[in-house]
Amino acid sequence: MQRLSQNGAADATRGLAILGATGSVGTQTLDVVRLFPDRFDVQALTCDSNVELLADQVREFRPACVAVGAPERAEVLKRELSGAASEVDIRVGTEGLCAVASRSDVDVVMGAVVGFAGLRPVLEALRADKQVALANKETLVVGGALVTQALEEGGGQLLPVDSEHSAIFQCMAGEAERSVEDVVLTASGGPFWDRPAETFPDVTVKEALDHPNWSMGPKITIDSATMMNKGLEVIEAKWLFDLNVDQIEVLVHPQSIVHSMVSFADGAVKAQLGVPDMKVPIQYALSFPARWPAPHERLDWGALSRLDFERPDPQKFPCLRLAYEALQAGGTAPAVLNAANEVAVERFLNEEIGFTDIPRAVETALERLPVHSDPGLEVLVDADREARHLVKELALPTPN
């Protein structure tokens, strides 16, 4: 049974909160708002530390409320905003994100924070009956069961923003839930698809940040290079569409034109295609069930000579295997996988560890930390903290 309702939002003007407004998904969400200014009242915007950009967004969109990551950043923002926009309500930290997500003047929440920090505010939004457009896959990886519970208990609604999950959602529209046989998540393969595995220890941060098809924030770009992104997306798909592990396949498709596919009981397969542009799935999550006419780039069939598909090599990309294993193990294992990966990616970006140390660190955390079944939020928070601590302290040889 898929968990996402195919009945949805109206075309009226709706109050919008964007969690992570200064990031790649957040700024592209505001691009969509600029295309449809009459459809949204931007009520709340948040960032972690980029208060200069947030101040520009406040001056342009005039939200009632904002949230920033720390008190000193609130002070900087206040100084930036002295004058016309100074009446904005400024909140701080996780409490601030949760307050923003559950405001009474907000109908739709865009969850575009990166990492585990997005989980609590998404739960708050769903409990407050909001429509949540969710980009922040780590929320489902860590707390998929809690999100499902919040959806079942409340009147909230979840709509996928991640391009593959948006594709699956679109393929499933109008289909009986039981008729879905399996799904294929496509993956670009990232920048190292063709690169010999023996050179992976030499991968530099600059090379890993150079994604061939998508322009995204740094964390997900590194996740794409290790293919942990696809592993996280397998877990995300399990929770969004209530699938078993063996119903989710990954295929590398270097052109990133087919965004994902669904196979049905009668042998039919539906795919959703388009130019790789996040504004399309972002807009669909906001316009659903309508489609709003927009000037996003169209596919040029004449220029499209071929579409390639290939099974990924689990030896070359161990993160994908680790994600499947964590999903099988269940309980706190995906939270450990996620936290270990977040810290390992941060350490790689800081040039403290090498590229191949990322899967090594994640595997070590999964081996060393126990799996607790049916975790509540506090148990997940503890598992997250322990895994972060372990990987922060893990001695790994300094890269060349």
Which chain residues interact with Mg ion by CB under 5 A? Answer: 162-164
Site map 320..359 versus ligand NDP, x via CB under 6 A: ----------------------------------------
Stretch that binds ligand NDP, among 81-89, 129-137, 310-318, 355-363 (CB under 6 A): 129-137
Q: Using CA atoms, how far apart are residues 176 and 262, in angstroms rounded to an integer?
A: 13
Is the CB of residue 251 less than 8 Å from the CB of residue 233?
Answer: no
Determine if 231 is a binding residue for ligand NDP (CB under 6 A): no
Phi, then psi, of 42 in degrees rounded to 5? -75, 110
Supply the minimum distance, in Å, between the C-beta of residue 268 and Mg ion: 24
Contacts (CB under 6 A) with ligand NDP, residues 148-167 = 162
Determine if 138 is a binding residue for ligand NDP (CB under 6 A): yes
Determine if 23 is a binding residue for ligand NDP (CB under 6 A): yes
* Distances, alpha carbon 258 to alpha carbons 102, 168, 232, 299, in Å: 35, 11, 19, 11
Asked if the peptide bond before residue 289 counts as cis, ω within 30 degrees of 0, the response is yes
Determine if 114 is a binding residue for ligand NDP (CB under 6 A): yes
Supply the minimum distance, in Å, between the C-beta of residue 211 and ligand NDP: 9
Which one of 2, 5, 50, 149 is in contact with ligand NDP (CB under 6 A)?
Answer: 50
Work out the burial of residue 175: count CB atoms within 10 Å of its CB; fewer than 13 is exposed, 13-18 middle, 19 or more buried: middle
Task: Compare residues 162 and 342 and give the one whose CB is closer to Mg ion.
Answer: 162
Determine if 41 is a binding residue for ligand NDP (CB under 6 A): no
Closest by CA position to 17, among listed 95, 133, 180: 133
Maximum Cα–Cα distance across the chain? 63
Supply the minimum distance, in Å, between the C-beta of residue 113 and ligand NDP: 4
Contacts (CB under 6 A) with ligand NDP, residues 165-224 = 214, 216-217, 219-220
Helix %, strand %, coil % of the chain (to 5):
50, 15, 40
Question: Angle at CA 232, nearest 5°, toward 231 and 234?
Answer: 65
Q: Name the site residues for ligand NDP (rule: CB under 6 A).
A: 20-26, 47-50, 69, 112-114, 117, 135-138, 162, 214, 216-217, 219-220, 278
